[in-house]
Structure 1
């Protein structure tokens, strides 16, 4: 494989993208910093096919990333391969308003092949290629220039290894017949709504005790205000106001701006400055949440109760058995909130009741809840058994 020197000019990048546009797939990774900003600061982009690989410097003066971004979000003929690509996809979304498509995530694929729920990149490379990845540059400051040869070599290795792993992984998925299982997961990962930081939804990030409509209404207004401030200033949310301070103000709101000087976690200057005034305006405009807007109770599903919780525990046991039997990560089959919903009587709208998940797990889960399936110990192993009623 040909490894290019660090690309810092638009002409070289455009030529690379023209060649990569003819590939069946490209592997993609990014290096970024986000400790002091709201949006991740893109510092390096690595990309490869089976013939060549390169690192691109997005911080290079005058470089036009347009051809690269077009390859990622507009070219439907080239599959984009990531490993644990959520944050990489978020960066592309922030730059374009679109997500890479079509895409493939090797961490999710590894779940379908029984390699655990969140296998790390180093372990993936070791298990598929027998190569120990050098982790020395993992915590480097990618925003500093110049980057040395070791840093660039480390970064490019992320995509060259992935370009060797992906065909092997695809072949095993085909042999096991599990390739189709992943289509829905990859489409879900590519859904742009996953990466939009909607201020109206920001309150869901903040933990607050209880479900009082007035408190949650104030929390919604305050979280929206903070999200807008953080995005506008490109600062982390916690640099504006920490979550616990936001929750405290939602529960015990200051009556006037001068009271902000007494709020723990806020600067005394907020009692007279513009940002304090905007905070108070957000509080003044807060309205209590309606019953339809309130979040679900702590048990997450209405009507679950003690018996329902026991049924949910049995479903979790069934999930463990089934994931062991077919050698697939349990998280790929069903999530805990789905099991609780099924135990509470929900029978529609759950991913585990659709497609391949229903065949592999959902059908038996419903049978267990409705009394047609039970547990038995055979040969020292816990197995499932049909009840007499079901057999009849």
Structure 2
């Protein structure tokens, strides 16, 4: 594999893009900072094909020059835990890299556990121990030394090897098609666009509020989200979650009441305070028919709790047969939705999870099969027909 090193000139970037042209796939990773900003600050892009590897410096190069490659539908883009990389590259290039292959999702389908970390996966699949000495590196600082660049390059050097081996395993086991719906979801740009009107759902403690208080919370959380976006500051630097909850409960009507709240930032300027007061007023005056509502759900009956317990045991058995961890297939809440008869609200209701476990659990719940102890080990399902 030819190592292009740090690519920090337009000429070097053009040479790298020319070298990787025609490759069927490219492994990608990003290094970024987000501690002091709303949007991640992209500091490095690592890329590798079967024959070439390089680290691209976005601090001095126009990332949009990568768009033709990243958006080329004939080239698979390989990531590990792709979400943040996809979010960043969408913002930098105007679209998400697609099609995509996420080795973390693939790992779950191959029995390596749910949300396995990159280093652990490299150890398990490639029997290689990654260097962790640069985990806390400030990737925005220049120059980058040889150890930092080697560490960054390893993130895609071994990702490329993982992809080749895992893709072959998925194909030989007939599980490659399981991956497609997951990858299609990753490549949906709308999944990465923050909706300020839905920000209240992420506020810790919102379930403790009364309905009218939720209306105020929705308005002020949306104000905080837009303010954080426009100022490019972390949302909790604008207002903490605890303060949002207090504002929602008290709904202060004047600046003195607002500034008098414990923990209210003393440096907030008058214009921003007025904007927040307007949001509070809008939330307080919103018609009841437009108040946000928490989903209301009756608790399971004792009999249904027993059914859910037994269905979970069946899930574990079906996962064991496939050599997959149960958590990689579904959580208890997904099983509960099947017990409630709401398969459309469960991850077990469609796709590969339905094929592997959901359909069998539904047949058992419908009384089409009976569950018993197998003569050797595990559980056995037998048809009740006839």
Match of 2:97 among 75, 96, 100: 100
Are 2:381 and 1:376 aligned? no
* Alpha carbons of structure 1 residues 382 and 128: separation in structure 2 relative to 1, 3 Å: closer
**CA apart distance, 1:34:** 0.5
Give 1:365 shift: 1.1
- 2:117 counterpart residue number: 120
Which residue is 1:250 aligned to?
248
CA distance in 1, matches of 2:192, 2:377: 43
CA distance in 1, matches of 2:265, 2:293: 31
Q: Would you say the 8 A contact 1:3–1:54 is kept in 2?
A: yes
How far apart are residue 329 of structure 1 and its match? Answer: 3.2
Cα shift at 1:291: 7.6
Normalising by structure 2, report the TM-score.
0.93
In structure 2, do the counterparts of structure 1 residues 196 and 306 end up closer, same or farther at CA, with 3 Å as the change threshold? farther
Question: 1:10 and 1:116 mapped to 2: Cα distance?
Answer: 41
The root-mean-square deviation of aligned C-alpha atoms, in Å, is: 2.1
- Mapped to 2, the partners of 1:237 and 1:292 lie a distance apart of 23
Tell me, in whole angstroms, the C-alpha distance in 1 between the residues paired with 2:282 and 2:145.
52
- Aligned-partner SS, 1:5: strand
CA distance in 2, matches of 1:367, 1:289: 42
User: 2: CA distance between counterparts of 1:192 and 1:308?
Assistant: 39
Counterparts of 1:60-71 in structure 2 under 5 Å? 60=60, 63-71=61-69
Deviation at 1:264, TM superposition (A): 1.7
Structure 1 CA distance, aligned partners of 2:143 and 2:287? 53
Structure 1: distance between partners of 2:30 and 2:272: 34
Q: Please, which moves more after superposition, 273-282 or 360-369?
A: 360-369
Q: 1:52 to 1:97 in 2, by over 3 A?
A: same
Contact 1:216 1:288 survives alignment (8 Å): no
1:192 to 176, 189, 193: 189
Deviations 1:240-294 (A, max 9, x none): 0111111121122213121012212212455x72211111010111125648942
C-alpha change, 1:288 and 1:180, in structure 2 (3 Å) is same
Matched, 1:10 2:4: no
Is the Cα contact below 8 Å between 1:27 and 1:48 reproduced in 2?
Answer: yes
Q: CA deviation at 1:127?
A: 1.8
Counterpart of 1:296 in structure 2 is 295
- Counterpart among 140, 144, 151 of residue 143 in structure 1: 140
The SS at the match of 2:379 is strand
* Match in the other structure for 2:220: 222
Aligned to 2:40: 40
How many residues align? The count is: 383
* Regions of 4+ moved over 6 Å: none
C-alpha deviation, 1:67, in angstroms: 2.3
Instruction: Report the Cα offset of residue 340 of structure 1.
Output: 1.8
TM-score normalised over the length of structure 1: 0.92
